[in-house]
Amino acid sequence: MYNPNSFYEQVLLQESHEKIHLNSIRLISAGTANQSVLLYTDKGPLFLKSNFQDSPEMFHQEIKGLNLLRKNCPLQIPKTVGSGRLDNQNYLLIEWIEGGYPGADYWERLGHGLAEMHMATSPVFGLEDNNFISILPQSNLQHEKWVDFYINERLEPMLGKAFYEKTISKSFYKKFQLIYPKLEGHLPKEKPALLHGDLWSGNVIVNSQGQPCLIDPAVYYGHREMDLAFSKLFGGFEGRFYDAYHNIFPLEPGFSSRADIYNLYPLLVHLNLFGKSYLPGLKKIIKKYV
């Protein structure tokens, strides 16, 4: 007789060093790519994310990203249990963070915590391993110059994918590339900073103590303004967050005018994930600079 919980029980058996009994499950989300569930066990609740993608290393890289953030960030980052693949299904098993309501100093703590995380640096831009942003491969080939990394490992791969899949025309593909020679003149030179990489409001949650926690990273060492620009793209971050960040790690003047340039990348990501509704936003930015 088919047991719908057998997959979850197999994951617990494979990843635990002690016998864990699964009491019940609760569906958290069921998107087009991943399914997320809360596993109630006799050892406490655990969060499980799974999918049927062809890339079994996807969640392994997410665990590495979470662990890297935890070493360098004062904010709460979920503790990792393990990842793997069972019956063509990939899974990620991590700590469950019980939710709550933002405390009075929530945005200040988030700003201070992100600033401290961005102080973690590397000799080069990129990362030793490639990883993913959502379900899309993310190249982290290392470069000494930020502009070279941004063009070759962020913009070009996503632009090329959109052209290959006929989401954009050849004329827009060529027009987009005209922005590349202009980037160095617009972007301030800074040391590589450890980035969350996918910093929008959905990837910042509130724990039961009312404090911010970071989830679902796409980490690499890049220009810290990438995270801050991404945080502005879909709203959800209050002004107190940016003030608190600036008090700890001030930005060069003119960040607001540069944010569009950094957001070319997440807009290309969303274009490839969700389709042409994100094309007008890209065209508006390119028209501004080309």
Give the three-class secondary structure for 24: strand
Spatial separation of the C-alpha atoms in residues 274 and 242, rounded to whole Å: 29
End-to-end CA distance of the chain: 63
Catalytic-residue membership of 198: yes
Structure tokens that stand for 130 in this block: 């490639």
The SS3 call for residue 53 is coil
State both tokens at 73. 């960030």
Distance separating alpha carbons of residues 47 and 160, to the nearest angstrom: 35
Catalytic choice (54, 87, 129, 198): 198
Q: Dihedral of CA 98/99/105/109: which sign?
A: positive
Three-state SS annotation for 212-232: EEECCCCCEEECCHHHHHHHH
Alpha carbons within 13 angstroms on the beta-carbon side of residue 192 total: 23
Inter-axis angle of helices 279-289 and 170-177, nearest 10: 40
29 has which bridge partners? 36
d(CA 46, CA 59): 16
How far apart (Å, rounded) are the C-alpha atoms in residues 126 and 143?
7
What's the full length of the chain, in residues? Answer: 290
The dihedral region occupied by 276, where left means phi > 0, alpha psi between -120 and 50, and beta the remainder, is: alpha
* Residues known to be catalytic: 198
